[in-house]
Amino acid sequence: MKALKQFKTTLKEIKHEKVKPKFCPICNSPKLDRLLMTGILPSIYVCRECGYKGVLTVELEKSPKE
Ligand SMILES: [Zn+2]
């Protein structure tokens, strides 16, 4: 039953990740469009500001200190 517990935790983490704001790693714009929503593979994001396309995004988990 350990595996099931771990699976549930993973689901929780994925759900939590969706709530985090995502920003473009190039121009830091929050205007990101999600291109793919497979639920298994990482989503691909497209930046509406600079045209960046990729799975990498900047996530803000805590308040910026700068
Ligand atoms: Zn951008």
The 10s digit of each residue's pLDDT in 5-36 is: 777 766 666 665 556 788 999 999 999 998 86
The 10s digit of each residue's pLDDT in 28-64 is: 999 999 886 667 777 889 999 999 999 888 987 665 5
CA of 55 to the centre of ligand 1 (A): 13
CA of 38 to the centre of ligand 1 (A): 23
Residue by residue, DSSP assigns 1-58 as -HHHHHHHHHHHHHHHHHHS-EE-TTT--S-EEE----SSSPPPEEETTT--EES--E
**What is the pLDDT at residue 29?**
95
**What is the pLDDT at residue 63?**
57
CA of 22 to the centre of ligand 1 (A): 11
Residue 47 token pair: 């930046």
**What is the pLDDT at residue 42?**
77
